[in-house]
């Protein structure tokens, strides 16, 4: 891991040096052109001091605006835009230097202008070529590589799931860190900065989050992925039946005590809790899906069938004891059937009530689920889903 990080820095440094070489070359090219056309004696001391000023400004701009960061990831258009921005800032600062200092006053501005035009062309060409050479030197792995963000609870399952869709998990990031350096030989990033650095420098093909609510992933990570044109996907389970920890006393008269703990048992923040009581047997409710809302359902008293439909498969989960919970992720059509009068349904929800986030029309739900069933990979009998997180949020 540490060697890898150093390798990352070397890459960073190599681009920095490349920029400086471009700058020096462009200066000499512009100077020889200027002297060639004017054929006048030129004050080389002035020239060197301006070149040194240009180098200092270039390095300062590079660090201040991080223009080299993520350079390996950028596509050509982005590269051109970033180089232009870099040169623009250098130019403004150098302009001030030329106009405000004595050295600057005696220096030909035409040379500087020419130098920057050359510099721009060289930087764009040089970086693109260097990036190409580096990518050719890299040993391409057989399977696409992924960074997996998950919680310690879902880590094994997440790795398995990504393997099933033929992705090689190279790095892990546990949103609730458990201070492990690696799990099953896969390095664990210790904080979001390290994740950002992995995204920047490693050849990660995809970033996945597994079994989590999108709100646990920091916005800037999502933006970093977007900026680097890395797809940021949510590979989650549609639903999950969980055992709710239940404590019983030796003396049956004490009954049972069940509890759920935020983050440990519930993979999303809770914004709303509601429950349905005073029901009659054979009551049917629900008939909707959520676009955003994640829920945890449990039935502390009675028996309730939850019929789930992901647009392809239907399944029924029966909540028939207080120690059984059901986590439902967005995009599932559900119908609840009360099998026993007085049964109580309790729901922990990740979102405040928002009628616009419901899909209540089944045809619309089918169209919606089709749209978001981006990659369906056969695994056993089950079809896996992967949704573009930005689209889900939108």
Catalytic residue list:
288
Assess 274 for contact with ligand TYD (CB under 6 A). yes
For residue 119, the surrounding DSSP H or E stretch is helix 109-137
Closest to ligand TYD by CB, 189 vs 329, is 329
The single-letter DSSP state of residue 37 is H
Residue from 330, 329, 308, 332 nearest 318 by CA = 308
In contact, 334 and 289? CB cutoff 8 Å? yes
Q: How far apart are CB 273 and ligand TYD at their closest, in Å?
A: 9
Closest to ligand TYD by CB, 203 vs 357, is 357
CA distance readout (Å), 228 to 145, 235, 256: 15, 20, 51
Only one of the segments 176-184, 202-210, 282-290, 298-306 lies at the binding site for ligand TYD (rule: CB under 6 A); that segment is 282-290
Closest to ligand TYD by CB, 200 vs 345, is 345
Q: How far apart are CB 287 and ligand TYD at their closest, in Å?
A: 7
Give the per-residue SS3 of 292-346: CCCEEEEEEECCEEEEEECCCCEEEEEECCCCEEEEECCCCEEEEEECCCCCEEE
Q: How far apart are CB 240 and ligand TYD at their closest, in Å?
A: 20
Assess 220 for contact with ligand TYD (CB under 6 A). no
- Give the position of tokens 């008269």: 253
Closest to ligand TYD by CB, 6 vs 314, is 314
> Could you tell me whether strands 333-338 and 206-210 are parallel, antiparallel, or unpaired per DSSP bridges?
unpaired
The single-letter DSSP state of residue 42 is -
Rounded Cα distance between 254 and 120, Å, is 78
* Helix, strand, coil % over all residues of the chain, rounded to 5: 45, 25, 30
Q: How far apart are CB 368 and ligand TYD at their closest, in Å?
A: 17
Residue from 385, 363, 361 nearest 375 by CA = 385
Assess 7 for contact with ligand TYD (CB under 6 A). no
Assess 288 for contact with ligand TYD (CB under 6 A). yes
| Residue choice 249, 312, 353, 367 for contact with ligand TYD (CB under 6 A) | 353
Residue from 288, 283, 286 nearest 303 by CA = 283
Only one of the segments 43-51, 254-262, 284-292, 309-317 lies at the binding site for ligand TYD (rule: CB under 6 A); that segment is 284-292
Site for ligand TYD in 226-245 (CB under 6 A): none
Closest to ligand TYD by CB, 229 vs 271, is 271
| Residue choice 153, 163, 263, 285 for contact with ligand TYD (CB under 6 A) | 285
Assess 286 for contact with ligand TYD (CB under 6 A). yes
Assess 272 for contact with ligand TYD (CB under 6 A). yes
Residues 6+ positions from 139 with CB-CB distance below 8 Å: none
Closest to ligand TYD by CB, 337 vs 389, is 337
Only one of the segments 22-30, 233-241, 280-288, 315-323 lies at the binding site for ligand TYD (rule: CB under 6 A); that segment is 280-288
Residues 6+ positions from 153 with CB-CB distance below 8 Å: 211, 264, 267
Contact positions toward ligand TYD, by CB under 6 A?
A: 272, 274, 285-286, 288, 353
């Amino acid at each position: 891991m540490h060697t890898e990080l150093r390798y990352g820095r070397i890459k960073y440094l190599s681009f920095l040096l490349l920029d400086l070489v471009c700058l020096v070359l462009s200066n000499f090219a512009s100077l020889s052109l200027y002297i060639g056309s004017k054929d006048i004696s030129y004050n080389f001391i002035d020239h060197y001091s301006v070149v040194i000023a240009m180098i200092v400004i270039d390095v300062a701009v590079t660090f201040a605006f991080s223009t080299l960061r993520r350079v390996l990831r950028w596509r050509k258009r982005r590269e051109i835009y970033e180089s232009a921005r870099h040169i623009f800032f250098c130019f403004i600062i150098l302009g001030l230097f030329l106009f405000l200092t004595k050295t600057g006053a005696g220096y030909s501005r035409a040379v500087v202008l020419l130098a920057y035009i050359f510099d721009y062309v060289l930087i764009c060409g040089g970086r693109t070529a260097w990036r190409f050479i580096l990518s050719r030197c890299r040993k391409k792995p057989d399977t696409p590589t992924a960074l997996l963000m998950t919680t310690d609870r879902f880590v094994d399952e997440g790795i398995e799931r990504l393997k099933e869709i033929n992705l090689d998990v190279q790095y892990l990031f546990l949103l609730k860190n458990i201070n492990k350096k690696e799990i099953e030989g896969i390095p664990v990033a210790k904080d979001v900065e390290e994740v950002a650095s992995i995204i920047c420098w490693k050849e990660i093909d995809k970033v996945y989050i597994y079994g989590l609510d999108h709100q646990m992933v920091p916005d800037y990570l999502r933006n970093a992925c977007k900026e680097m044109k890395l797809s940021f996907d949510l590979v989650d389970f549609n639903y999950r039946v969980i055992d709710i920890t239940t404590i019983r006393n030796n003396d049956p008269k004490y009954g049972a005590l069940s509890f759920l703990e935020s983050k440990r048992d519930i993979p999303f923040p809770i914004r709303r809790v509601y429950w349905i009581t005073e029901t009659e047997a054979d009551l049917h409710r629900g008939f909707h899906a959520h676009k955003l809302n994640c829920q945890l359902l449990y039935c502390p008293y009675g028996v309730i069938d939850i019929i789930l439909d992901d647009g392809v498969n239907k399944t029924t989960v029966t909540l028939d004891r207080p120690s059984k919970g059901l986590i439902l992720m967005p995009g599932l059509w559900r119908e609840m059937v009360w099998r026993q009068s007085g049964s109580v349904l309790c729901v922990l929800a990740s979102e405040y009530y928002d009628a616009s986030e419901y899909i209540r029309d089944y045809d619309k739900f089918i169209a919606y689920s089709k749209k978001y069933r981006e990659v369906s990979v056969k695994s056993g009998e089950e079809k896996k889903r992967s949704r573009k997180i930005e689209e889900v949020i939108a």
